[in-house]
């Protein structure tokens, strides 16, 4: 019954997306994007696209999304949005973070990315333009991937905080008590593998085109860099997402070390009351602000 119910929910969601898609006008960007995609298919092999293409997408998106937060530290008028204003970024910590990132990206993540081609071949995932889902489908699939990844992240992240293993693995990520965007993937190699596995579960469930791999990478990096940014920017469109955690929620985790274990959403922390310390802190901050 439960499986059938889940299937019906997913089917209804896809039908709703299909209806919305039918109402959308033709996208004027479709022609150049289609031409670029077909050019890529004609000039590169599937292995090159899945491997080197995925690496390039990851590196470009990661550091592009990190760029605004990096610039904010030089803009005095942005400092009022910094959450922990008494802990500014330093060149020493940023350089240390950058070196660790390069190691993780090329010696941990790249070998995993090399398996992308074999994954797409094993599951017969298409690359052609005609099979590519329209963007409403991609958004719906990315949301499904986010729900799955957030669930995996909550329970494994909470386990990594257990006192018997914390100092061996997760303590590396918590070297920064005041996070900044580039620090989002600063972690022990084992943590990169353990928590990163949640990224691939959604892909295994939803992936029906290689484009979803890149779309989900983009969404996931946007989210994790935002919550690690250290800045609570007003009018952030991500805050329109129901139960979205945001920078203040995760910033408290780095400052407090306990609670707020979710990566994207707040519902697991609410359900298990692991956001209680954060709620008390927020209430105190609100009282101080009103005084």
- Most confidently modeled of 23-27, 28-32, 150-154, 230-234? 150-154
Whether the predicted model's global pTM rises above the 0.85 cut? yes
Partnered with residue 244 across adjacent β-strands are 265
Q: Are 169 and 195 in contact, with CB atoms under 8 Å apart?
A: no
pLDDT at position 6 is: 47
pLDDT tens digit sequence for 190-226? 999 999 999 999 999 998 999 999 999 999 999 999 9
Region 26-34: what's the mean pLDDT? 76
What gap in Å lies between CA 124 and CA 214, rounded to an integer? Answer: 17
Residue at token pair 């989900």: 216
Nearest-10 crossing angle of helices 210-227, 189-206: 130
Start-to-end CA distance of the chain, whole Å, equals: 54
Q: CA-CA-CA-CA torsion for 258, 259, 261, 264, nearest 10 degrees? A: -130
Largest CA distance in the chain: 65
Partnered with residue 61 across adjacent β-strands are none
Statement: residue 286 has pLDDT above 90: no
Region 124-140: what's the mean pLDDT? 92
Beta strands in 30-135 (DSSP E): none
Q: How many residues does the chain have?
A: 291
pLDDT at position 182 is: 95
Q: Which two tokens stand for residue 44?
A: 């590169």
Q: Which of 169, 211, 180 is nearest to 36 (CA)?
A: 211
Statement: residue 1 has pLDDT above 80: no
**Residue at 262 is within a domain:** yes
pLDDT at position 17 is: 53
pLDDT at position 288 is: 75
- Please give the mean pLDDT across all residues of the chain: 90
**Residue at 213 is within a domain:** yes
**Residue at 20 is within a domain:** no
**Residue at 21 is within a domain:** no
Q: Which two tokens stand for residue 21?
A: 């898609």
**Residue at 19 is within a domain:** no
Statement: residue 9 has pLDDT above 60: no
What gap in Å lies between CA 89 and CA 73, rounded to an integer? Answer: 7
**Residue at 34 is within a domain:** no
Statement: residue 47 has pLDDT above 90: yes
Q: Are 113 and 58 in contact, with CB atoms under 8 Å apart?
A: yes
pLDDT at position 12 is: 58
pLDDT at position 285 is: 84
DSSP character at residue 161: T
Range of the domain at 88: 44-290
Q: Which two tokens stand for residue 58?
A: 């990851």
Q: Which two tokens stand for residue 35?
A: 């031409």
**Residue at 29 is within a domain:** no
Domain count, the chain: 1
* Alpha-carbon separation of residue 52 from 89, 113, 196 (angstroms): 32, 8, 19
In the chain, what are the helix, strand and coil shares in percent, each to the nearest 5? 70, 0, 25
Q: Are 228 and 181 in contact, with CB atoms under 8 Å apart?
A: yes
**Residue at 100 is within a domain:** yes
Q: Which of 88, 259, 98, 106 is nearest to 179 (CA)?
A: 88
pLDDT at position 16 is: 58
């Amino acid at each position: 019954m439960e499986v059938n119910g889940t299937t019906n929910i997913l089917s209804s969601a896809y039908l709703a997306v299909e209806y919305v898609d039918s109402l959308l006008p033709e996208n004027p960007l479709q022609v150049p994007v289609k031409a670029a995609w077909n050019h890529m298919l004609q000039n590169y092999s599937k292995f090159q696209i899945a491997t080197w293409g995925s690496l390039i997408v990851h590196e470009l998106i990661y550091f592009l999304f990190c760029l605004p937060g990096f610039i904010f530290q030089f803009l005095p008028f942005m400092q009022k949005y910094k959450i922990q204003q008494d802990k500014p970024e330093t060149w020493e910590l940023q350089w240390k973070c950058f070196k660790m990132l390069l190691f993780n990206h090329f010696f941990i993540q790249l070998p995993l990315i090399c398996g992308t081609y074999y994954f797409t071949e094993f599951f017969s995932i298409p690359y052609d333009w005609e099979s590519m889902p329209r963007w409403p489908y991609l958004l719906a699939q990315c949301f499904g991937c986010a729900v799955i990844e957030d669930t995996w992240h909550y329970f494994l992240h909470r386990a990594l905080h257990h006192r018997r293993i914390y100092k061996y693995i997760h303590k590396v990520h918590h070297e920064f008590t005041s996070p900044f965007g580039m620090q989002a993937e600063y972690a022990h190699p084992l943590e990169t593998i353990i928590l990163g596995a949640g990224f691939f579960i959604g892909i295994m469930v939803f992936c029906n085109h290689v484009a979803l791999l890149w779309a989900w990478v983009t969404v996931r990096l946007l989210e994790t860099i935002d919550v690690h940014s250290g800045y609570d920017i007003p009018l952030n469109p991500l805050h329109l997402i129901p139960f979205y955690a945001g920078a203040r929620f995760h910033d408290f985790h780095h400052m407090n070390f306990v609670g707020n274990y979710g990566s994207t959403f707040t519902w697991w922390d609410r359900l298990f009351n692991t956001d209680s310390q954060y709620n008390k802190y927020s209430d105190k901050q609100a009282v101080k602000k009103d005084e």
